[in-house]
Structure 1
Amino acid sequence: MTIDKNWISLRNRNAKQFKDGLEQFIEIAKKHVNSHGEPYCPCRGCHNGKRQNTKTIYAHVIDKGFSQSYKTWVYHGEEHPNTAAIDAISNPYLFKSGSSPTAPGPEMFDAIQDVMDAFNTNKENEDEGGTSLDPEFDDLFKELNTELYPG
């Protein structure tokens, strides 16, 4: 669904087009509320930093204007155009190994091992089996090599 946002940049906030656009926005905002029934307020004063009731949001936007930097209404249900790429970067385990260019591969584990080796120049920290005596690092490597969802 394409949302007409041209009304946001109108200087005359009493114009019919502005008020109609704001009313459509309020209807969208009503679907994205907290437990108190309050959506984020996109006015130039709140900048989506506060939740308000819809009557207050309407008054704020009429009085202060709609935040000009709020182009993608992510706080009101609109998906950011780069959501898939952001998900891949922030949570690479959403993808099976090799299905995404950002999915971690064996080279990541090698890099971690190289960094650990650089800090562990003293071989006294290894037991006879060649594993480190620091259980925290051993546990981290076990976690890294464990499938999040087996199968």
Structure 2
Amino acid sequence: MTSRISLALHVACALTTSLMATAAFAEGLRSTFAAHGSHATLAGQKGLVADGQGNAAGAARSGFTTASGGQGQRSAQFNRTSDGAAAASGQATASGSNGSAERSGSFTRDADGSASGERSTTVTNANTGVTYDGSTTYTKGAGVSRTGGCKDASGNSVSCVSR
């Protein structure tokens, strides 16, 4: 049990460095949290800073472990400048005996109003070896584009079976 707490805290603390780097330009609010139950442990940090001139940044990070060996982490961050430009990104991973999943994405809006974003997702079923890879992109004025497909453990394209 102590090793699960230690791992979750280690994940959260290791990610704190980039949180503080994001928030380095001003003093701000920071909080740390941890929870422990009979089946899982969770720990994380979040922070928000602003300089009073229209610039702001924030980030959040957390990690978890479960009694059955599952684990995961997530992080998200944003930055807004006084000219109206903004950027945000996030990542998440999870793994366990049945497989793994990863997702990442970002969004950017420039001061002139142009905007774009992207998201990618990979999910692997440990029981079948099938992996889904998908991505979505967005560009203001052009719309949304999606791609995705599944491959078996040998890299052959296979049908993505849905429930």
Question: TM-score, with normalisation over the residues of structure 1?
Answer: 0.27
Q: Give the structure with the higher percent strand.
A: 2
Question: TM-score, with normalisation over the residues of structure 2?
Answer: 0.25
Q: Give the structure with the higher percent helix.
A: 1
